Amino acid sequence: MLGAGSHPRRGLRLGGHLPVQAPRPAHQPTDPVGCDKRGRRAVTALPAGGRRTAATDAGAGAPRSGFVIHRDDLEYELISSLNHNAEDEGSVHRLVDRHRTGDPRCEFLTGVYRMEPGMTHPLHLHADSAEFYYVLSGTALFTLAGERFEAGPGTAMYIPAGVSHAIRTGGTHGMELLYSFSTPDLRGVGTRWL
């Protein structure tokens, strides 16, 4: 967990391991802090004592490094362009998914969803994936399995596959939440609009 005022590019510690810059192929241009054009920075975890762990410890086919990314380095995407529903409002930063990680064993998708005041994420369900929400800022009216409630920062919601849900922001407050699916790609969630 990042401490107050910390930033992924300034001394982030991953599970007690200090990330270090992994070698980059010559064809991947980087900016001054070592991020490639997608805003990713490869890291290799070193134990606190500094001894390198062999990449094969994770098993055959495992990625050799993870990455550190800051959401401000990514463009927001309109959610309607991702799910092809013009009535769906708001925008997302897709932070981690199988495509971004390049890891065929990545089993989840997570990102940040932002809605401005007066926007709607219409009633729908995901037949093939559970979903998780964690409200980061603002407030909104949520509908979950037919029940309506207002939720603000610090509220976590688990939405099982097949359970209907919707979000509506009020006229004066927007909202930002962290979302995660139990599938690595949006094509695998089985969205059905109600």
**Judgement on whether residues 53 and 83 belong to the same structural domain of the protein:** no
**Judgement on whether residues 135 and 42 belong to the same structural domain of the protein:** no
Q: Are strands 77-78 and 156-159 parallel, antiparallel or unpaired?
A: unpaired
Q: Which of 68, 92, 127 is the last residue of a domain?
A: 68
Residue ranges of the chain with pLDDT lower than 70?
1-65
Q: Which of 14, 45, 68 is the last residue of a domain?
A: 68
Pairwise CA distance, residues 46 & 28, whole Å: 23
Q: Which of 10, 42, 68 is the last residue of a domain?
A: 68
Is residue 139 within 8 Å of residue 161, measured between CB atoms? no
**Judgement on whether residues 91 and 130 belong to the same structural domain of the protein:** yes
pLDDT of residue 75: 86
**Judgement on whether residues 86 and 47 belong to the same structural domain of the protein:** no
Element housing 83 (H / E): helix 79-83
CATH number of the domain to which 122 belongs: 2.60.120.10
Question: CA triplet 92, 166, 86: central angle to 5 degrees?
Answer: 60
pLDDT tens for 144-176 read 999 999 999 999 999 999 999 999 999 888 999
Q: Which of 37, 102, 93 is nearest to 63 (CA)?
A: 102
**Judgement on whether residues 88 and 114 belong to the same structural domain of the protein:** yes
pLDDT of residue 62: 54
Residue 157 bridge partners (DSSP): 133
**Judgement on whether residues 62 and 93 belong to the same structural domain of the protein:** no
**Judgement on whether residues 59 and 147 belong to the same structural domain of the protein:** no
For residue 60, the enclosing domain spans 1-68
Q: Which of 101, 116, 104 is nearest to 69 (CA)?
A: 101
**Judgement on whether residues 91 and 53 belong to the same structural domain of the protein:** no
Q: How many separate domains does the chain show?
A: 2
Pairwise CA distance, residues 118 & 5, whole Å: 31
**Judgement on whether residues 147 and 60 belong to the same structural domain of the protein:** no
**Judgement on whether residues 90 and 175 belong to the same structural domain of the protein:** yes
**Judgement on whether residues 169 and 91 belong to the same structural domain of the protein:** yes
**Judgement on whether residues 78 and 161 belong to the same structural domain of the protein:** yes
